[in-house]
Amino acid sequence: MKIRQAMPDDNPRILDFQARHAMRGSLPMRFDRSPDYFALHRCHGPSHEVWCAEDEQGALKGIASLVVRDGYLNDAVRPVAYLGDLRLMPDRRLSRQWMSVVRERLAALRSEAGVEHAYCCLIRDNRLAAQSLVQSRRASRLRFAHWRGYENVSVYARRGLRDANRVPAGVRIVEAQPYHADALRAFLDAQSRQQPFGCVFSEQEFARRLETWPAFGIGSFLLAFDARNRLVGCVAPWDASAIKRIVLERLPAPLLAVRAVFNGLAPLLNRPRIPAPGKPLGDVYLTHLQVRERDPSIFAALIDAAWGRLRQQHALMQLCLYDGDPLWAAMGRYRHASTPMDLYTLPTGDADVAVSADVSPGGPIPGFEIYLV
């Protein structure tokens, strides 16, 4: 088995491999990253790499990606690595070889770039991935530690009209304008600084996102201001379909029933239908979601504004809410489906210890962006 770094001309083979191998679990899913598998990595930042495994005949047997970016930890800027896109054909020899390569690559990042911490996410009921990556007893295993549980939330309907678009007293929701850019960047950075591995929103990084992410810009943002004209919340709906689409391979019976009822009512409600299994979901991500002190009333006003903007163009709004997150209090007004997930951290060296007291199940909200997964 040969493991090597992927090149741009590997793009068609990687896309085909991803299309044939969905992530396992009770809700099997895959990401359609055509036409350019590498485009999402460029949204992360300039430092990224992809690795692939080939057998003796050159057939692709596995892929994984690694992205390095600056993130906050203990109020300091640190380079952190995100491990993603892991798909391996079942093979114990390949698994052992792959883990050895990952360990070597992480050690090199620690030595060359000062990367001390890495993290990844797994579908909670993907038992095969959990057993091979997290629960392995092999001496050569990677030292994964559970960080935080979260749910990938798909909002598909509003629960009635009562309290619709209610905004807290003194709060107003506005669409961002170019003159908001400096205050918005500062707010994002201040909030992100409180979240372990949170993105460092330097002027350069914020400008890069606004300029290079497809179908994205300052006008994507909805802003919440309080009575003293202070920015207290923001969210940026992003249609990432130009570079990434979620495809559910099948739906369990309860969700099939929800889809049937919803699609029957969709024409009357002027809503797009939820696509059939095997088709892209037609969703939109609620990105850059930050609310001062995780205030659910501010969050409710932002999600209501986003819903009003998006409900006629997109069947689903996707967002991430953590276990024990105060923002859950606002979700009773929406109908949604959720996929339980987990974040894990691992050191890039041999230390078998938690990266920080902040990076623990009871610590601060993680600085994690599901739309870049």
What percentage of the chain carries pLDDT values higher than 70? 94
pLDDT, one tens digit per residue, over 196-236 is: 999 999 999 999 999 999 999 999 999 999 999 999 999 99
Q: What's residue 355's pLDDT?
A: 55
As a whole number, mean pLDDT of residues 81-86 equals 93
Are 215 and 292 within one domain? Answer: yes
Helix (H, G, I), strand (E, B), or coil: what is residue 239?
coil
pLDDT, one tens digit per residue, over 119-174 is: 999 999 877 767 767 766 666 668 888 999 999 999 999 987 655 567 888 899 99
pLDDT band at 26 (very low <50, low <70, confident <90, very high): confident
Q: Is the pLDDT of residue 44 over 80?
A: yes
As a whole number, mean pLDDT of residues 230-251 equals 95
Q: How many angstroms separate the CA atoms of 314 and 246, rounded?
A: 13
Is 143 part of a structural domain of the chain? no
Q: What's residue 329's pLDDT?
A: 95
Q: Are the beta carbons of 143 and 107 closer than 8 angstroms?
A: no
Q: What's residue 29's pLDDT?
A: 85
Is 218 part of a structural domain of the chain? yes
Are 45 and 158 within one domain? Answer: no
Q: What's residue 354's pLDDT?
A: 47
Is 350 part of a structural domain of the chain? no
Measured at the CA of 206, the angle between CA 202 and CA 209, to 5 degrees, comes to: 145
Q: Which H or E run includes 98?
A: helix 92-113
Is 246 part of a structural domain of the chain? yes
Q: How many angstroms separate the CA atoms of 220 and 214, rounded?
A: 11
Are 162 and 97 within one domain? Answer: no
> Could you count the other beta carbons within 10 Å of the beta carbon of residue 86?
18
Give CA separation, 214 vs 30, 168, 271, in Å.
21, 33, 24
Q: What's residue 353's pLDDT?
A: 46
Q: What's residue 127's pLDDT?
A: 77
Backbone φ and ψ of 270, nearest 5°: 60, 45
pLDDT, one tens digit per residue, over 46-70 is: 999 999 999 989 899 999 999 999 9
Q: What's residue 280's pLDDT?
A: 92
The count of structural domains within the chain is 2
Is 277 part of a structural domain of the chain? yes
Which letter, b or e, does each residue of 51-81 get, where b requires 16 or more Cβ atoms within 10 Å of its Cβ? bbbbeeeeebbbbbbbbbbbbbbeeeebbbb
Are 165 and 305 within one domain? Answer: yes
pLDDT, one tens digit per residue, over 255-287 is: 999 999 999 999 998 999 999 999 999 899 999
Q: What's residue 88's pLDDT?
A: 86
pLDDT band at 357 (very low <50, low <70, confident <90, very high): low
Q: What's residue 350's pLDDT?
A: 67
Which domain covers residue 48, as residue numbers?
2-136
CATH classification at residue 112: 3.40.630.30
As a whole number, mean pLDDT of residues 324-346 equals 94
Is 356 part of a structural domain of the chain? no
Q: CA nearest 42: which of 12, 69, 72?
A: 69
> Could you count the other beta carbons within 10 Å of the beta carbon of residue 271?
18
Tell the residue number behind the tokens 């619709």, with chain if given.
164
Q: What's residue 349's pLDDT?
A: 82
Domain boundary (136, 170, 186) is at 136
Helix (H, G, I), strand (E, B), or coil: what is residue 170?
coil
Q: How many angstroms separate the CA atoms of 373 and 370, rounded?
A: 5
